[in-house]
Amino acid sequence: MAETLTQWWRGGIVYEIYPRSFKDSNGDGIGDLRGITQHLAYVADLGVDAIWITPFFKSPMADFGYDVADYRQVDPIFGTLADFDALTKEAHRLGLKVLVDYVISHTSDEHPWFVESRSSRDNPKADWYVWADRKPDGGPPNNWLSVFGGPSWLWDTRRRQYFLHNFLTQQPDLNVHNPEVQAAILGEMEFWLKRGVDGFRLDALNFSMHDRQLRDNPPSEHPETSEQPLSNPYAYQKHLFDKSQPELPEFLKRIRALLDRYGANTTSLAEIGDDAELTLKLMNQYAGQSDKIHMSYGFDFLSTTFTPAHFATTIQRYQAGAADSWPCWAFSNHDCIRHASRWTRPGQSMVAVARLAAALLLSLRGSVCLYQGEELGLPEADIRFEDLQDPAGKTFWPEYKGRDGCRTPFPWDGAAENAGFGAGTPWLPVSPVHKTMGVAQQVGDPAGVLAFYKQAISVRKSTGALLLGELDVVQATEDLLVLQRHFGNETVVCAFNFGDVTLDLDIGTGTVLLASTGSSASTVGLLGYVWLRVE
């Protein structure tokens, strides 16, 4: 356990920054690296351990940076390599680790690798992407579907073949089965390790390898369990062959070996998106042991379900099915509706739900990801169709409005121009509701969501049982969830009331570490919580 205590990422808190929307330093309406650097002191003051920066690499921005055209260059809209070096230096000065978002599964169609690959069938990079011949009738090789709608194959007139794209047509899939591609990926990652980054968040990791036989996916028996909305045909397949292939863990060992060469504090976080049962298997296959990715990040709590039963069963399923993995939990991110909106029912206080959710998230065993603005209790922004930027939102509107509502500019000061985001017209409109919840509006308010996050993070970091302890589900009823964390001789009981009536508790006696109004060791108030160190 002594080794565990020295690994900052175990139990650590990672703050996700979406650069386009964090802070615009030059007035062009788009956030940038200098803007992040200007506000790193704010992030450090929250008490978090690291920042995760979503892609800032050179890109045509078809998917806002997740379509990478050059892994070794900063896109000019975000700044320069010198700006990134200055950001890393300042983060380290403030005690923050720096994780960058690395996309393994695909590149932009403007990446030089793909430009060469599509030029002929016999060039040196001809097999660097997933190419397949047409069927006799001219159709694509199988029934695989893209996450963004339609077939996941696009005909290329140069090679007279189809190429695979699990996402946009501008995002061709790399052939990660190819050892040359693996070596190239490791080389791009090492470029950033040499610049001082502390690790990587690995985007859509289980999409990185496909079935070499290109077998058809069968229909899904339970499309409602998909991570995609039912308005998307992707939900109606069981994705057995277009992702999550058994050969991938061998490559992950090579990634882990590279990271280990840069010290024990270098880490990695694997995003794993599949149906609930398979995700647990993948977590064990991909993460948690000495020759695998350090942490696993699933979608279990990014749904609309907010009940004691859901949390209890998810925790217990995880403990039974992925016990060897180390989880990193998140309630919000740049791809889903903010949880303050997802989980607040009509008539409830959104602030109370935000505080309850924070207390619950920070009580879980594992590491934690916070998404920018979560600590302010921000709800999802309402975006008009005319203002939409997200290609998914444009495709599936109005049943699915896309991801823009969680990506709007960060409100530094609601009284300032563009809520303090920057002088230029923002790439997405600033939410009028967010202006009332800005940092300047909450600083100094002991009853604000921001003050609560700081308090809860401080308590978690100073309490061994909450940071590293084992977790047991003690009770889960219609409205009450009781968890127990224990580490060494320390035991902390955490109780949460999801309902609107004060509930009686029988959780022992001791020191209350954190409690909502009206909550104690004997009761927990409506939409309330209590953390009790048992004595």
Give the rounded distance of the alpha carbon of 12 from its chain centre.
15
Residue ending a domain, choose from 458, 482, 510: 458
Domain end among 438, 458, 478: 458
First and final C-alpha spacing in the chain = 23
Establish if 146 belongs to a structural domain: no
Residue corresponding to tokens 């199988």: 142
Q: Are residues 483 and 359 in the same domain?
A: no
Neighbour tally for 316: CB within 10 Å: 14
Q: Do 374 and 522 sit in the same domain of this protein?
A: no
Q: Answer whether residue 504 shows pLDDT above 60.
A: yes
Per-residue pLDDT averaged across 39-62, rounded? 98
Which residues are catalytically annotated?
A: 203, 271
What letter would DSSP give residue 128?
Answer: S
To the nearest whole percent, how much of the chain has pLDDT over 70?
99
Asked whether residue 164 is assigned to any structural domain, the reply reads no
Structural tokens at position 118: 């599509």
What is the value of pTM for the model shown?
A: 0.97
Pairwise CA distance, residues 16 & 373, whole Å: 10
Range of the domain at 356: 2-105+178-458
Strands (E), 104-168: 131-132, 153-156, 161-164
Angle at alpha carbon of residue 309, lines to 459 and 283, rounded to 5°: 75
Residue 497 domain-assigned (yes or no): yes
Q: Going along 77-156, which residue ranges are E strands? A: 97-103, 131-132, 153-156
Instruction: Check whether residue 420 and residue 507 sit in a common domain.
Output: no
Strand order across the 480-487 sheet = 470-476, 480-487, 490-497, 529-534, 510-515
- Section 373-392 average pLDDT: 96
pLDDT digits (tens, 9 = 90+) for 397-423: 988 899 999 999 999 999 999 999 999
207 and 277 both lie in a single domain:
yes
Binned at pLDDT 50, 70 and 90, residue 352 comes out as very high
Handedness of CA 193, 295, 239, 404 (dihedral sign): negative
Do 428 and 483 reside in the same domain of the chain? no
| Number of separate domains in the chain | 2
In sequence order, the β-bridge partners of residue 16 are: 52, 371
Let me know if residue 478 belongs to a domain.
Answer: yes
Mean per-residue pLDDT of the chain:
95
Confidence (pLDDT) at 3 = 43
Give CA 200 to chain center in angstroms: 12
If phi > 0 it is left, if psi is from -120 to 50 it is alpha, else beta; for residue 411 that is beta
Indicate whether 380 and 476 sit together in one domain.
no
Query: What pLDDT is recorded for position 2?
Result: 41
Question: How far is residue 403's CA from residue 303's CA, in Å, rounded to a whole number?
Answer: 14
What's the whole-number mean pLDDT along residues 368-383? Answer: 98
Distance between CA atoms of residues 260 and 97, nearest Å: 16
Do 183 and 34 share a structural domain?
yes
**Is the per-residue pLDDT at 505 higher than 80?**
yes
- Please report whether residue 151 resides in a domain: no
pLDDT of residue 229: 84
What would you measure as the largest C-alpha separation in the chain, in angstroms? 74
Residues 335 and 298 sit within 8 Å (Cβ to Cβ): no
Instruction: Name the token pair of 368.
Output: 């934690």
In terms of DSSP bridges, do strands 529-534 and 510-515 run parallel, antiparallel, or are they unpaired? antiparallel
Q: Which two tokens stand for residue 394?
A: 């444009």
Is 50 exceeded by the pLDDT of residue 379? yes
The answer to the question of residue 446 being in a domain is yes
Least confident segment among 395-399, 429-433, 448-452: 395-399
Same domain, 477 and 448: no
- pLDDT at res. 4: 53
If asked whether residues 234 and 339 sit together in one domain, one would say yes
Residue 160 forms part of a structural domain: no
Residue 1: pLDDT above 60? no
Which of 403, 437, 458 finishes a domain?
Answer: 458
If one counts every other C-beta atom within 10 angstroms of the C-beta of residue 328, the result is 26
Convert 476-507 to b/e letters by CB count within 10 Å (16 or more is b). beebbbbbbbbbeeebbbbbbbbbeeebebeb
Segment 211-227, tens digit of pLDDT: 999 999 999 998 988 88
Same domain, yes or no, for 195 and 277? Answer: yes
92, two tokens: 């380290």
pLDDT confidence tier of residue 284, bands split at 50, 70 and 90 = confident
Checking if the pLDDT of 445 tops 80, the result is yes
Q: Are 388 and 512 found together in one domain?
A: no
Instruction: Residue 420: give its domain's CATH number.
Output: 3.20.20.80
* Spatial distance between the Cα atoms of 434 and 406, rounded to a whole number of angstroms: 11
Run of H or E residues at 435: helix 432-435
Specify the CATH number for the domain of residue 517: 2.60.40.1180
* Pairwise CA distance, residues 340 & 353, whole Å: 7
Cα distance between residue 255 and residue 434, in whole Å: 40
Structure tokens given for 398 = 């109005």
Look at 281-290, 371-380, 400-409 and tell me which has the smallest mean pLDDT.
Answer: 281-290
Distance CA 272, CA 278 (A): 10
Which residue in the block uniquely carries the two structure tokens 């985007």?
203
User: Mapping DSSP to helix (H, G, I), strand (E, B) and coil, where does residue 334 land?
Assistant: coil
pLDDT tens-digit series, residues 87-141: 999 999 999 999 999 999 999 999 999 999 999 999 999 999 999 999 999 999 9
Same domain, 485 and 428: no
Is the CB of residue 74 less than 8 Å from the CB of residue 65? Answer: no
CB 525 within 8 A of CB 497: yes
Q: Confidence band (pLDDT; 50, 70, 90) for 281?
A: confident
Look at residue 133 and tell me if it is in a domain: no
**CB count in 10 Å sphere of residue 311:** 21
